[in-house]
Amino acid sequence: MNLSVFSVLLKDKPLPEVLDIFKAKGVTHVEVGSGGFIGKEHCDPAALLADKKARDAFVDLFKERDMHIGALSCHGNPVHPQREIARMYHQDIHDTIDLAAEIGVDRIVTFSGCPGDTDDAKYPNWPVSPFPEDFQELYAWQWEKKLIPYWTQMGRYAEDKGVKVAMEMHGGYSVHSPHTAIKMRRETGCKAIGANLDPSHMWWQHIDPCEAIRYLAREDCLYYFHAKDAMIDPGYISYYGVTDMQSFGVAYGRGWQFRTVGFGHGLKEWANIMSTLRANDYDGIISVEHEDSYMSVAEGLSKAVANLKQVMIFDPASAPKAFAIDDRFV
């Protein structure tokens, strides 16, 4: 496994300084923000694609520190019902795929997006209940008319470029669970499309992250992993429910909160997750995100890295001696 940090945690600092901070903490890989909601402070794909000298200098920042780009990451809604908004996010994803292919990065992280309820809608509409039955019709229309056509085209484009698309399973977007991630992969028929699993997004939906890993692994589509925790407050969750609509900026009083690794669930739980990843042939990137409103980015980053180092499995597995059968008895 490889320890990574999402560069946008320190988006207010220049990239060389960010890499030096990560390097000092023992981080070997970096997930670099490349557009969408998270901005392009550290990586503007269109600009880098247009300038080979700038592109080479960007790659050299990592090489000279013996660090690696684990993924390029652009989060947006390319199927937004307002065409201009959708076009902007589509272009970011398209450029990110192109840049990844150009600099030898084999995957990007993004959202599936969420359509509206008609061609003339103004806002996305995320159906989460089969009743009233209108929502079933809406759900089918979104997938058949918007999501599958768009991601079939984009998935094939990424596949032709040799780039995997790790869709972050996130509430508010059409791909938000193992089922919807697998549905996207199957119905587009595109093996370039897979999932980014963030346990925090599973916990608040009451999905067991270890079971999610197993479901995705069976389909060979677990492409990335975000390390972020979530704390469920029994009192407030009983009042607001899991679809708590209060702003994430409400530090105290939500039904659930994003937390730094180890501050929502114990390290034993995180060790189980890492063991489940290893048991299901995922030895890739473990990338730290910070959205913990209880602590600063600096403290949250330091604690997340320290906690992950205790539970991540870095060395290759070795067969226990009990299974090393003497050739004489074969």
Count Cβ atoms within 10 A of the Cβ of residue 158 and give its class: 0-12 exposed, 13-18 middle, 19 or more buried.
buried
Residue 268 has pLDDT above 60, yes or no: yes
Average pLDDT of the residues in 278-298: 96
Q: Give the mean pLDDT of the chain.
A: 95
79-136: pLDDT as tens digits: 999 999 999 999 999 999 999 999 999 999 999 999 999 999 999 999 999 999 999 9
Q: What is the model's pLDDT at position 328?
A: 53
Containing H/E element for 71?
Answer: strand 68-75
What is the mean predicted confidence (pLDDT) over 152-156? 98
CATH of 2-329, one of 3.30.750.24, 3.20.20.150, 3.30.70.360, 3.40.50.1780: 3.20.20.150
Considering only CA atoms, which of 111, 115, 129 is closest in space to residue 181?
111
Task: Report whether pLDDT(195) > 70.
Answer: yes
Instruction: Give the residue-averaged pLDDT of 184-193.
Output: 98
Per-residue model confidence (pLDDT) at position 210 = 98
Provide the token pair at 97.
């795929």
- Does residue 241 have a pLDDT over 80? yes
The yes-or-no verdict on residue 330 having pLDDT over 50 is no
All residues at 6 or more sequence positions from 304 whose CB lies less than 8 Å from its CB, including other chains: 227, 260, 261, 262, 288, 290
Cβ neighbours for 144, distance < 8 A, ≥ 6 positions apart:
none
- pLDDT band at 248; cut points 50, 70, 90: confident
Q: Is the pLDDT of residue 325 over 60?
A: no
pLDDT at 329: 45
- Nearest CA to 184 among 281, 112, 92? 112
Percent of the chain with pLDDT over 70: 96
Rg over CA atoms, the chain? 20
CA distance 1 to 42: 24
β-partners of residue 30 are 5, 69
Alpha helices in the chain (DSSP H): 15-24, 45-50, 52-63, 83-103, 134-141, 148-161, 178-188, 199-203, 209-218, 234-240, 267-279, 297-311
Among 236-245, 248-257, 307-316, which is the least confidently predicted range? 248-257
Maximum distance among all alpha carbons in the chain?
74
pLDDT exceeds 90 at position 284: yes
What percent of the chain has a predicted confidence (pLDDT) above 90?
Answer: 94
Whether the pLDDT of residue 68 is over 50: the answer is: yes
Grade residue 320 by pLDDT with cuts at 50, 70 and 90: low
Binned at pLDDT 50, 70 and 90, residue 321 comes out as low
